[in-house]
Structure 1
Amino acid sequence: MPQPSEPCPCGLDSSYADCCGRLHDGRASAATAEELMRSRYSAFAVRDAAYLLRTWAAATRPAGLRLDDDIHWTGLEILATTGGSPFHTEGTVEFRAHYELDGRPSHQQELSRFVRENGDWVYVAAL
């Protein structure tokens, strides 16, 4: 886990505690699909599998999640969003997540679908 005052892994100009950390520890919930996407990226970066499972739609959530210790997440780019505002019930976020594996840089690009479940934003699946 990063120190509370360290920069947030999601790339916004905030400390981890004031940004994604408050979502990870349950002090706040994501107001938008993009905020949830950023917090899920940060959860991968800090290896918080419990948060990832907690923010996954019940219908598509796996029974467990094993995170690869060899992947070092290095940055997140939000490429596009549709819907997903505080006033919507569904939305999509297209992103590019950068990482290093065995010292080699790479990335994962995905269009993800999010919905509200019991009032909270959750990840459904990649489209």
Structure 2
Amino acid sequence: MLRGKPEEVLRNSQYDQQAAPPGRRIELTTADVIRLDQLAAAAERLFEHVRQVHGDTVEVAADYFWAIPPDALYEVAQEPRKLTIGQLSECEQHVRPLLEGELDPLAYYLVWLSDLMRAVGYAVAG
């Protein structure tokens, strides 16, 4: 479950100001619900921006990364006792068959895709 007040984060965001109709604020998420339509729209706008600035590919500095197991990821009151190692090239190998139409979508592909998207975000944000 997500915790905190995301409305405070989005209140003055560029996305919120540009995408919301006048007098209406878009709610991307609440404490326990994420709107997929708004998440997809935000992702598309971000990908469009990254393509304009960096082109169709982004170089990342490393293949391996630290990962927090799912059962500890949102338990922020406790420091994770165990970290695992993830690999971007492995995430890409999992996602590729989905792109090529060889496999049907599974929800867990979002986890691998998010690892790739995080690497892109860190690479382009500097």
> Please, what TM-score do these two structures have when normalized by structure 2?
0.24
* Structure exhibiting the larger radius of gyration computed from Cα positions: 2
> Please, what TM-score do these two structures have when normalized by structure 1?
0.24
More helix per residue: 1 or 2?
2
